[in-house]
A and B are shown apart, each in its own frame.
Chain A
């Protein structure tokens, strides 16, 4: 079975700046991985390359045996970016319906109802998320990442801007995705997901400095 996520010599260079040094990494199906590193360590660059949003300067990335960014890879991978990307002119309900139908999700209505309820958005479904606060926009973004079918869930700094109930709901949803068999990769400065992860990948200045199990104390040391 191919790896859920595979990076072979994956590199990103901007002029003189090496955002990601050649990285070899294989994440197995169903793994829960936490990716840690300080600002500018290369986490977001890695995630945007496996999502197909950034083109590698060298090497290659694969998703479920398909080249990253290809149509089948896009069907398998759901990417939740650090900054919510929303339409100005669609309500929350319209966003969910559009994304679900665009990804040809089946039986998405109960899932949509569950997600808005779990994230505390039920009373805002007719409002325009583009005019929400940062936290509510983040919750909308989470719902959009989870409404569509996926095998690999790649999440970048998901806890930013969330209140305590939001953080708790997100952790529960990430657990649920993993229990349902998805591969979950979370990049975060916070240590909240560390105890739930089976593996920790740490980057520093674009280079891999740790790959294996890690405690919260290890993570704090690796990030500092």
Chain B
């Protein structure tokens, strides 16, 4: 610390050092070693699984030529997507996530905010860089299985590209938040960035730095020194961002400090619904005050209150036992009213997920089997948004438990609207596959029979995930299990619902095999999709319908067993 530094800055530095020393002192050596062991265990397993995603067959010379011609722009579009996310985050005051106490005490103190914020910014950049290197290296390893060139070269190229993409995205977010770009401007710039990279892909030209960066990822195939220009442009972003980080809005920092902490906690618990809700709050995503489509309903103007008609519905004589299903039409109407208020961000996200799913399906068709996971995950993530009416009832059980009907009946009826929405999104995915070069008739023959089963399984899986809530690891009987076993149980619970959706996509592989053998792909997909998958869907929906009754039954059985044990102990 220089002698000329002001006392507040010196105090901040000393406080930061003291907190770091305390954190380090609090780490137990054995716990630290155990954490390292778990990290290596999980990390090693992940690398082992992910490194063979692409399969082992080398691509044909024609495909290799296509990769050489279109690969840089395609990778550039992916990099541009990261940049767009960075711009969007920066427009909302991201990417910094500070401690609430730091926002209140440090940022309100007479300390230069650039100094106060630079350290956490560098910290986050460092972590993002490590993630980028890891993901990039694994992607490079996968590429080496299918493309010619040295494995080490592919890993290095992937790592460098991953590093630059992530650091660039963080950098552009810092620039946007430090310069306080208004949200619409940041959104517009994100669209420009995506459009520029997309134009390169469509025209086959290299005009954007992102395409140059994409070229860097393919250096094992062909080295073009000009690609370094792209790296230079992207690397400049974090430098500019760090220089202007002091301009970050205090209001945005406070909001993010509150929500990001809760978001991380929910993510730790694998509480998917809470993560989704907090993420929406973070991006200020609210239902539209005016619906896209007004579904005709009650309006007070239609009925003028008259004396004698405003009495309350007090029925002291009783209406007899309640029987039958709840008014399904009213519940379906409620879910459609909810869908009609989807904010534009959610609509855009769902369309993007559908397009992503459609594009991944074309990659599956061309031989990369593992991409069925991506197709399934896209559908599952879309369904998590689509089942919002049911999720709101799960968030506030007061409402659904006030209805004089089994909650499962209400929940099932709430899924009708989302399933219809998911079928429509399925056709968006088919459209994307056609735009990506799939023959239209084949895409329809293969895709159309899949839309309903995938919609049913995706909504069913998402509903199961929401209703089950976070796993109970760390409580009850799970405390008696060793971490590896408990971890696998938790992973199974977390992976089960999305796995249901992935199962829904598997008929695509049957269609591909039939096509290779010269048989009708559409017939093969329909045969494997409709009956088995809809049966599975019915089972999932039956679980949703009877889950509450099952829970009560299990609870009573547990209490009964405990009572018998007490009685036996007493004898």
Which of A's residues lie within 8 Å of B, judged by CB?
29-30, 51-53, 64, 69, 71-72, 74-76, 78-79, 81, 85, 87-90, 93-94, 96-98, 101-118, 122, 125, 127-128, 130-131, 146-151, 173, 176-177, 180-182
Task: State the CA gap A77–B283 with chains docked (Å).
Answer: 39
> Which residues of chain A are near B299, meaning CB under 8 Å?
93, 125
Known: A53-B398, A127-B289, A149-B314. 19 other contacts (CB 8 A): A71-B404, A71-B406, A74-B402, A74-B403, A75-B319, A76-B318, A85-B399, A87-B389, A93-B298, A107-B309, A109-B303, A112-B300, A114-B310, A116-B300, A117-B305, A148-B313, A149-B313, A151-B315, A176-B312
Q: A30-B316, A75-B404, A125-B300 are in contact. Are A89 and B389 (CB under 8 A)?
A: yes
> Which residues of chain A are near B334, meaning CB under 8 Å?
90, 94, 98
Task: State the CA gap A181–B315 with chains docked (Å).
Answer: 8
Let me know if A104 and B313 touch, CB within 8 A: no
Let me know if B404 and A180 touch, CB within 8 A: no
Let me know if A81 and B310 touch, CB within 8 A: no
> Which residues of chain A are near B424, meaning CB under 8 Å?
none
> Which residues of chain A are near B298, meaning CB under 8 Å?
93, 96-97, 109, 112
Task: State the CA gap A109–B341 with chains docked (Å).
Answer: 23
> Which residues of chain B are near A177, meaning CB under 8 Å?
312, 314
Task: State the CA gap A79–B401 with chains docked (Å).
Answer: 11
Let me know if B313 and A106 touch, CB within 8 A: yes
**With an 8 A cutoff between CB atoms, is B97 at the interface?**
no
**With an 8 A cutoff between CB atoms, is B142 at the interface?**
no
> Which residues of chain A are near B337, meaning CB under 8 Å?
89-90, 94, 98
> Which residues of chain B are near A29, meaning CB under 8 Å?
316
**B413 to nearest A CB, angstroms?**
10
> Which residues of chain A are near B482, meaning CB under 8 Å?
none
> Which residues of chain A are near B316, meaning CB under 8 Å?
29-30, 151, 180-182
* Of the residues A75, A96, A113, A116, contact of B322 by C-beta under 8 Å: A75
Task: State the CA gap A47–B566 with chains docked (Å).
Answer: 31
- Name which of B24-32, B323-331, B438-446, B451-459 contacts chain A: B323-331
**With an 8 A cutoff between CB atoms, is B247 at the interface?**
no
**With an 8 A cutoff between CB atoms, is B225 at the interface?**
no
**With an 8 A cutoff between CB atoms, is B284 at the interface?**
no
> Which residues of chain A are near B119, meaning CB under 8 Å?
none
Give the nearest-CB partner of B280 in chain A. A88
Let me know if B304 and A113 touch, CB within 8 A: yes
A–B pairs, 29, beta carbons within 8 Å: A72-B322, A74-B401, A75-B404, A85-B398, A89-B389, A90-B334, A93-B298, A93-B299, A94-B334, A96-B298, A97-B297, A101-B330, A102-B327, A110-B306, A110-B310, A111-B309, A112-B300, A113-B304, A114-B305, A116-B300, A118-B310, A125-B300, A128-B289, A128-B341, A130-B287, A149-B313, A177-B312, A180-B314, A180-B316
Give the nearest-CB partner of B307 in chain A. A114
**With an 8 A cutoff between CB atoms, is B392 at the interface?**
yes
Let me know if B303 and A72 touch, CB within 8 A: no
Task: State the CA gap A102–B334 with chains docked (Å).
Answer: 10
> Which residues of chain A are near B312, meaning CB under 8 Å?
111, 146, 150, 173, 176-177, 180, 182
**With an 8 A cutoff between CB atoms, is B396 at the interface?**
yes
> Which residues of chain A are near B330, meaning CB under 8 Å?
97-98, 101-102
Task: State the CA gap A76–B314 with chains docked (Å).
Answer: 9
Let me know if B314 and A182 touch, CB within 8 A: yes
Task: State the CA gap A219–B334 with chains docked (Å).
Answer: 43
> Which residues of chain B are near A150, meaning CB under 8 Å?
312-315
> Which residues of chain A are near B286, meaning CB under 8 Å?
88, 131
Task: State the CA gap A176–B397 with chains docked (Å).
Answer: 28
> Which residues of chain A are near B389, meaning CB under 8 Å?
87, 89
**A147 to nearest B CB, angstroms?**
8
Task: State the CA gap A153–B311 with chains docked (Å).
Answer: 15
Give the nearest-CB partner of B397 in chain A. A53
Task: State the CA gap A94–B306 with chains docked (Å).
Answer: 22
> Which residues of chain B are near A116, meaning CB under 8 Å?
300
* Of the residues B300, B315, B327, B399, contact of A113 by C-beta under 8 Å: B300
Task: State the CA gap A111–B311 with chains docked (Å).
Answer: 6
